[in-house]
Amino acid sequence: MSTWHPIRKTPAWLAWMPDWLKTTLMWSLKIGLVVSLVGLTIVIYYFSKAARFDLAEVADMPARTTILDRHGKELGSGGGNTRRLIQRDDIPNFLVDALRAREDARFFEHGGVDYRGLARATLRNVKDGDFTQGASTLSMQLARNTFEIRDKSIQRKLLEIALTLRLESRYSKDEILAHYLNRIYFGAGCHGIEQAARTYFGKPTSKLNEAESSLLVGIIRGPHIFSPFRNLDAAKAQQSEVLARMKTMGLLDDSEVQRIKKIPISLVPQEARVSERSYALEAIQKELQTILDDEDIRDGGLTVRATLDAAWQLRLETDLSESLRRIEASKTWRYPVHARHQAGTEPAYLQCSAITLETKTGGILALIGGRDYLDSRFDRSTGARRDLGAAFEPWIAAAAAERGRLVLPGKPVQTGRQIGPKETIRIARRCGITGPFQATEDLFRGSAAATPLELATGLATLGNEGKRPRPFLIQSITSAEGKTLYTARIDTNPAIGRQAAREAAALLERNSGTRVHGGATGSGRDAWLARLGPKGSTAIWVGFDQPQRISSATQLNAVLDDIAGRLGN
């Protein structure tokens, strides 16, 4: 059998090459082929992963935040429930230019991924040995925020790029701009540009001026740090950075930058920032905004579980309102001469406030800031600081017991004289009552002031064997997907000894074991009811907003007795 094979002639273009160069070229081609196959495999893999995401979610904004009580009963909604979606026509051109300057200068030129910027960021990350630079375009940020791609890794970046390229093929540049601004978080509980414009400036996006537009763009990178409600100076510093970038890009000259900086920033005043339906919901919304900012939670469609007990809240509101209506309807009730509105046409009515804390944890079970939220949004549970009168006696007793002195029930002056005002004030403050105090013997006659929340905190300290709880309203926050984003931490601090707390709490025993205490103050301007129930510590205040003598202290004590009887044990 013949083994002859024709001799293969070396191509002319290879004949001149030395063997080492031929070997190098051969291996380079093989390695290049392998790298290409690996690259193609990676591309196919990440595009197949990206194909599993529904791009319709980009335009589908989670708009409603639901607030539940501790038992799961819906109380209302907040935060995202007021989100309004805008279109490209609603966005001022100046705001678009500011956004490009700050976040993505080549937005209208690239196809979703700015490869030049990505290359620069990659080199910087290699140099730093960390993911210090992201080179994220607006489209990439939109993909990341929509599908919650948060971890910093090569895998995350590759998936983000694949998603971005799909997103760019699905939506126009104008649609991407609108979806981006509708979705991102602007601080103070604001999801989306429209809610931010109305919350911060009281106007729609389309009416934002140049100063407002550049300020809002400036806070995007740190909405919890740069929120103008929290730190206007920091927000203005970010605005200056945006304007400087616009100048660098040739979008503004120096005179225009200076003109815009001189435009006044007029924020919505504090009293007009919340539009809830009750004092309790307003307080929850304020605490929610603080948590969202502090925890850097930017999701919409949240479920907020509050500490409130809806049934107890309703009972407290009903019983307190009914008791005050009864006294005002009685034939013997007379309004003080000065208890009238400035117009002088109709009398001002008695106001009230009440708050109940879960004694062991500090969770707020009920919060009443006044008789009529629609008439007055002033929250008296934290804002009405009034003399406590007889309601201060338990803390005189606590101070005496803490120092091993004799507690004389019903004789606060004699009890207090054993230790003096200074020590009594120190113990009261440790229990959460901050004053102001009269540093004389008048202190033992009730010349100490507190808000209803402070009095409830002091009561909880006595009921919790001397450990003072931190009041809070929100137990937990979960995302639309059911992921827990926040859980409250129970925070109690030792304030006084266990025995001193027990002796002080014993003064609240009255009426067949009902643990209540208080009455009208010596000045006759305020009436307090302090109650330690089986699980909750309740402080109730009754009086006029403009402090003045109540017509009949006897009648007010009757009201408090009526309320105590209604609440029972």
The answer to whether 332 touches 344, Cβ cutoff 8 Å, is: no
The answer to whether 544 touches 350, Cβ cutoff 8 Å, is: yes
CATH superfamily of 78-285: Biosynthetic peptidoglycan transglycosylase-like (1.10.3810.10)
CA distance 330 to 324: 10
Q: What is the pairing mode between strands 509-510 and 484-487?
A: unpaired
The answer to whether 221 touches 188, Cβ cutoff 8 Å, is: no
Q: So what's the pLDDT on residue 511?
A: 39
Q: So what's the pLDDT on residue 313?
A: 95
Q: Return mean pLDDT, the chain.
A: 84
CA distance 392 to 540: 13
CA distance 108 to 110: 6
The letter for the amino acid at 307 is T
- Angle subtended at Cα 17 by Cα 16 and Cα 21, rounded to the nearest 5 degrees: 175
CATH superfamily of 312-474+491-567: DD-peptidase/beta-lactamase superfamily (3.40.710.10)
Q: What is the pairing mode between strands 65-68 and 303-306?
A: parallel
Identical fold for domains 78-285 and 312-474+491-567, yes or no, is: no
DSSP of 245-285: HHHHTTSS-HHHHHHHHTS---PPPGGGS---SSHHHHHHH
- Residues with Cβ within 8 Å of residue 302, at least 6 apart in sequence: 65, 66, 79, 80, 477, 478, 479, 480, 485
Q: So what's the pLDDT on residue 124?
A: 61
Q: So what's the pLDDT on residue 136?
A: 85
Residue extents of the structural domains in the chain: 78-285, 312-474+491-567
Query: What is the three-class DSSP state of 84?
Result: coil
CA distance 504 to 429: 15
Give the residue among 356, 394, 339 at the shortest CA–CA distance from 525: 339
The answer to whether 53 touches 163, Cβ cutoff 8 Å, is: yes
Q: To which residue do tokens 């730093």 refer?
A: 128
Residue 386: how many CB atoms within 10 A of its CB? 23
Model confidence band, residue 50 (pLDDT cutoffs 50, 70, 90): low
The answer to whether 537 touches 454, Cβ cutoff 8 Å, is: no
CA distance 413 to 429: 19
Going from the C-alpha of 534 to that of each of 386, 531, 556, 566, the distances in angstroms are: 27, 10, 25, 15
Going from the C-alpha of 502 to that of each of 37, 40, 305, 464, 491, the distances in angstroms are: 77, 74, 32, 9, 21
pLDDT at 568 exceeding the cut of 70? no
What's the token pair of residue 293? 């900012």
pLDDT at 345 exceeding the cut of 50? no
Q: Which range, of 183-187, 214-218, 255-259, averages the lowest pLDDT?
A: 183-187
CA distance 426 to 112: 63
- Rounded average pLDDT over 208-234: 94
pLDDT at 553 exceeding the cut of 70? no
Q: So what's the pLDDT on residue 178?
A: 94
Q: What stretch of H or E contains 196? A: helix 193-201
pLDDT at 43 exceeding the cut of 80? no
What's the token pair of residue 409? 């029930």
Q: Where are the beta strands (DSSP E) in 297-428?
A: 303-306, 351-358, 364-368, 386-387
Higher-confidence residue: 395 or 19? 395
- Residues with Cβ within 8 Å of residue 452, at least 6 apart in sequence: 353, 354, 355, 380, 381, 382, 384, 539, 540, 541
Q: Which range, of 165-169, 175-179, 468-472, averages the lowest pLDDT?
A: 165-169
The letter for the amino acid at 344 is G
Going from the C-alpha of 206 to that of each of 103, 193, 450, the distances in angstroms are: 20, 10, 46
Residues found in the chain: 569
Give the residue among 73, 66, 69 at the shortest CA–CA distance from 365: 69
Q: So what's the pLDDT on residue 81?
A: 45
**pLDDT digits 0-9 by tens, 432-446:** 999 999 999 999 998
pLDDT at 46 exceeding the cut of 90? no
CA distance 229 to 164: 33
- Residues with Cβ within 8 Å of residue 520, at least 6 apart in sequence: 389, 526, 527, 550, 553, 556, 557
Q: So what's the pLDDT on residue 198?
A: 92
CA distance 236 to 231: 9
pLDDT at 307 exceeding the cut of 80? yes
State the pTM of this model: 0.77
Q: So what's the pLDDT on residue 59?
A: 83
Q: So what's the pLDDT on residue 134?
A: 55
pLDDT at 341 exceeding the cut of 50? no
Model confidence band, residue 492 (pLDDT cutoffs 50, 70, 90): very high
What's the token pair of residue 379? 């929250």
- Residues with Cβ within 8 Å of residue 215, at least 6 apart in sequence: 228, 235, 236, 238, 239, 242, 265
Q: Which range, of 202-216, 333-347, 405-419, averages the lowest pLDDT?
A: 333-347
Q: The dihedral of CA 40, 43, 49, 53: what is its sign?
A: negative
Q: So what's the pLDDT on residue 331?
A: 67
The letter for the amino acid at 178 is A
Q: So what's the pLDDT on residue 433?
A: 97
- Rounded average pLDDT over 369-387: 91
